[in-house]
Amino acid sequence: MTHTIQRPDPFNRPPRFQPAIKTLELDVPAPPAQADETARNILISLLPMTSILFMGVFYAFVYSSIGRSGSVLFALPMILMGVISVVTSLIVYSEQKHQQKMARIKQMRAYHQMLDRKEARLLSSRLVQREILEDQYPSLRQIHRRVMDMDLRLWERRPQDPDFLTVRIGTGKVPAFVQIKPPDPDSAEPDIRRAFGIYTEYKELPDAPVTMALHSVDSLAIVGDRKYTLPYVRNLLSQVASVASPEDVLIFLFSSSTSNYKHWEWLRWLPHTSQRTGALSHSMAFTQADRKNLFGLLSGFLANRMPAGEEDQTEPREQDSAGFLLSVFDGETNLISEPGFSVLVNQGSQLRAAAIFICNTLEDVPSDCKAVIQILEPRTLEYWQVGPQGKKREATPEYLSLIQADNFAHQLLSLATVSQGLANRIPSKINLLQTYGLTKLEQFHIVENWMRVPPEDGLLPFPVLIGNESQFTPLALHLAEQHDGPHGLAKASCCRPW
């Protein structure tokens, strides 16, 4: 059975198999306590017998002192009984001591055999967990191989999957699938060290994929030197582009300068950004005017997804056809005061959206950002989420070079013609400003347009925008004879009116 795409036109994503993962619990007990050794007290054993021996010696001394030497023989049995009793007590004591020692050895042997079995189960669980994590959240090398081989698992995740946009942010220690209950720390047995060693060794899985869910984090800031943050973001975006279809994810890019285009040119080849594969993407902006226009479009998407107010609850809101909206902000884009920016940063996950901010320092991070990845060194990063339950996690980052990213994007071209992405979808709801690519009503310049002198060949030379045939392409009606003509009024079009 082949695992590569045989019919890229059209590419039909097969159903996804997801192994069931259950969290188990394992108890690592403390060593058994030592048995009571009161029987080993030799004085308690010898005291009754020594008294008999003492009485025999005493009678022998008395008889000999009164000159009755023959009577001494009467004391010999008592002396002999005392000696035998003492010897017997010593033998019994030694045997009890040996038996207790052997019982303790057997008890500890059984305890260590039980620890061996538990450690074998933990080791097996560790191997299975590593295999599952590496399969679900592959490394850059594995992702590159899947794309180059046109693996059937490309774009396998759906919006309803719990790991829809869960990405691998690096490698490090992650909690083990098997939750280990530690031994009692109050135990005074020396073998408690091994029990605690097993607990500390297997409670976490080292060098494993460290993940985060982009679809539930609202907003994420990536802080550090640009020579590290840019290849790191390329890594994250390539993961998104390999596991999620352009029908489910649309990527927006807002860059602070046109000089940054060389760092992001590869992105235009992805079907997640371009309306036409390889064309200049309508979801990438590098100038202030383009950034505002594009963010106006993004704000319109978010506004359509906002819950209806109390006054609108009688009429159900129409859901737009767009998928998840992933926005990348490279540098200072001057969009913080734009309508919808605060909504994106604070409520992104509720509106099927997320924002990634590329910052040089922590002071550049928007104050309401919900999570931060700070690249401290080339091989070290820290990830934490804000709030009282926040916890820092360390990981080793992975980087994607510009050449590798460009090759990665070009390899998806054969599938990009099949899944056109959200750019070609007929929008379910737009407004007049979105159609004209404007953000404010004043930008229409109505008075100036009215003052324009009509040409000599007619009064209706201008196309009239009547809606959108895709998320980015407006549909125009041109009444001039050399264009649509008057019959264009009756033409059926697949568009969405205002």
> Do 481 and 370 fall within a single domain?
no
> Do 368 and 454 fall within a single domain?
no
The strand pair at 393-395 and 380-385 is best described as antiparallel
> Do 366 and 444 fall within a single domain?
no
Q: Quick: pLDDT tens for 330-354.
A: 988 888 888 889 999 999 999 999 9
> Do 409 and 451 fall within a single domain?
no
Question: Whole-angstrom Cα distance, residue 185 to residue 154?
Answer: 49
CA–chain centroid gap for 263, Å, is 26
> Do 280 and 246 fall within a single domain?
yes
Q: Quick: pLDDT tens for 375-406.
A: 999 999 999 998 887 788 999 999 999 999 99
Mean pLDDT of the chain: 79
Question: Whole-angstrom Cα distance, residue 171 to residue 399?
Answer: 12
Give the per-residue pLDDT at 489.
Answer: 56
Q: Is the dihedral of CA 163, 168, 171, 172 positive or negative?
A: negative
Domain tally for the chain? 2
Q: Quick: pLDDT tens for 109-123.
A: 998 999 999 999 999
Q: Which domain holds residue 453?
A: 436-490
pLDDT at 325 over 90: yes
What's the predicted TM-score (pTM) here?
0.73
- Reported as a pLDDT band with limits 50, 70 and 90, residue 44 is low
> Do 398 and 442 fall within a single domain?
no
> Do 255 and 279 fall within a single domain?
yes
> Do 234 and 281 fall within a single domain?
yes
- Is 262 a domain residue? yes
Question: Whole-angstrom Cα distance, residue 498 to residue 494?
Answer: 13
CATH of the domain at 385: 3.40.50.300
- Is 93 a domain residue? no
For the beta carbon of residue 316, count every other beta carbon within 10 angstroms: 8
Question: Whole-angstrom Cα distance, residue 274 to residue 277?
Answer: 6
pLDDT at 194 over 50: yes
